[in-house]
């Protein structure tokens, strides 16, 4: 198995009270907060941890597609995703994530589509999530 050495501290997360956390990305200093969702005793005023997990999947897919697009000279600038998250109740967990990718109006060959779809489906976050989690990916290509 090929391993990339990446064993640095990446974040510090603090509990702020009232079901809210603050995470600081140590290399850059960027900060984000999470809040428990309204259906789980929170205020729902920020991404929940499970929202971040679901959104991370879409961000990872776009990042790996971006790497593939640079390698193969395919323009994907302006690609956007919509993320849907479905929760199970027993135990409370994410059971399904649906990601709809809307590709910009550029001429994509069948080979380009194959390269980009494979990149999205093999991103590190996707490969790291449990096989119990349903991941649906829908590409919307220009007409």
Instruction: Please state the domain extents for the chain.
Output: 1-46, 48-140
Pairing assessment for the beta strands 80-89 and 134-140 based on DSSP bridges: unpaired
Q: Give CB contacts under 8 A, 24+ apart, made by 92-96.
A: 92/40, 94/50, 94/53, 94/54, 94/133, 95/132, 95/133, 95/134, 96/133, 96/134, 96/135, 96/136
Total-model pTM? 0.91
List the pLDDT tens digit at each of the 143 positions of the chain: 556 666 789 999 999 999 999 999 999 999 999 999 999 999 999 999 999 999 999 999 999 999 999 999 999 999 999 999 999 999 999 999 999 999 999 999 999 999 999 999 999 999 999 999 999 999 999 98
Give the model's pLDDT for residue 5.
63
At the top level of CATH, the class of 48-140 is alpha beta
């Amino acid at each position: 198995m090929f391993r990339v050495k990446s064993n640095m501290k990446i974040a510090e997360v603090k509990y702020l009270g009232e079901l809210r956390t603050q995470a600081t990305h140590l290399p850059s200093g960027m900060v984000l907060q999470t809040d428990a969702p309204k259906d789980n005793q929170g205020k729902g005023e920020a991404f929940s941890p499970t929202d971040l997990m679901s959104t991370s999947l879409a961000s990872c897919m776009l990042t790996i597609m971006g790497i593939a697009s640079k390698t193969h000279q395919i323009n994907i600038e302006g690609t956007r995703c919509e993320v849907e998250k479905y929760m199970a109740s027993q135990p409370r967990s994410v059971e399904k994530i649906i990601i709809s990718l809307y590709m910009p109006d550029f001429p994509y060959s069948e080979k380009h589509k194959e390269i980009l779809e494979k990149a999205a489906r093999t991103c590190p976050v996707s490969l790291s999530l449990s096989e119990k989690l349903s991941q649906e990916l829908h590409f919307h290509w220009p007409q």
